[in-house]
Amino acid sequence: MHAHTGGWLEGLIRREPLSVLPELAVREVLRRMCEADAAEAVVVAPSTGQPLGILTERDVIERIAQPAESLDVPVAGLMTGGVVALPRTAGVHEARLLLARHRLRRLVVVDELGRLAGVVSRDDLYAVRRPAADDLIGRIQAARDEAGLIDAARQVSERAAALVDGGEQAGRMGEWIALLNDLLVQAVIDLAEAEFDLPLVPWCWLAFGSEGRLEQTLNTDQDNGLIFLAAGEAEADSLRARFLPFARRVNGLLDACGFPLCQGGIMAGNSRWCLSLDEWRYCFADWMRSASADDLLNATIFFDFRALAGDAALADALRGGLLTAAADNPLFLRFMTENALRSGPPLGRIRDFVVDRQSGRLELKRDGTRLFVDAARIYALELGLASTSTVDRLRAAGNLLRWSGREIDALTDAFEFILQLRLRRQRVPGVPANQVAPDELNELERAFLKESLRQARRLQDRLRSRYQL
Tens digits of per-residue pLDDT, 442-462?
Answer: 999 999 999 999 999 999 999
pLDDT at 127: 55
pLDDT at 132: 64
Where is pLDDT greater, at 130 or 1?
130
Beta strands in 203-320 (DSSP E): 203-207, 224-228, 274-276, 306-310
Domain extent listing, the chain? 9-125, 131-316, 336-466
**Each residue of 328-359: pLDDT tens digit?**
999 999 999 999 999 999 998 767 899 988 88
CA distances from 339 to 36, 226, 333, 414 (A): 55, 28, 10, 22
The CATH architecture of the domain made up of 131-316 is 2-Layer Sandwich (3.30)
CA distance 445 to 186: 37
pLDDT at 161: 84
Answer whether residue 68 shows pLDDT above 70: no
CA distance 215 to 172: 11
CA distance 298 to 289: 13
Q: Which of the four pLDDT bands, split at 50, 70 and 90, describes residue 1?
A: very low
Q: What angle do CA 178, 180, 185 make, to 5 degrees?
A: 90
CA distances from 259 to 167, 198, 222 (A): 23, 24, 6
CA nearest 54: which of 146, 113, 119, 115? 119
Residue 292, SS3 per DSSP: coil
Q: What is the mean pLDDT of residues 253-274?
A: 96
User: What phi-psi label fits residue 374: left (phi over 0), alpha (psi between -120 and 50 degrees) or beta?
Assistant: alpha
Where does 336-466 sit in CATH, by number?
1.20.120
Q: Are 462 and 374 in contact (CB under 8 A)?
A: no
Q: What angle do CA 115, 108, 8 make, to 5 degrees?
A: 90
CA distance 30 to 34: 6
- In the chain, the amino acid numbered 401 is L
pLDDT at 193: 96
pLDDT at 259: 93
pLDDT at 71: 81
Sheet holding 203-207, edge to edge: 274-276, 224-228, 203-207, 306-310
Across the chain, mean pLDDT equals: 89
Where is pLDDT greater, at 219 or 312?
312
Answer whether residue 108 shows pLDDT above 90: yes
Packing angle between helix 443-466 and helix 330-340, nearest 10 degrees? 150
Contacts of 135 (CB under 8 A, 6+ apart): none
CA distance 139 to 141: 5
Answer whether residue 264 shows pLDDT above 60: yes
pLDDT at 4: 36
CA distance 157 to 151: 10
- The highest-level CATH class for domain 9-125 is alpha beta
CA distance 152 to 138: 9
* DSSP conformational letter for 82: S
- Residue 379 half-sphere exposure, CB side, CA atoms within 13 Å? 27
CA distance 146 to 152: 10
Packing angle between helix 293-302 and helix 370-383, nearest 10 degrees? 90
R_g of the chain computed on alpha carbons: 24
pLDDT at 391: 93
CA distance 376 to 397: 8
Where is pLDDT greater, at 132 or 436?
436
Residue 54, SS3 per DSSP: strand
Q: What is the mean pLDDT of residues 131-139?
A: 77
CA distance 26 to 69: 10
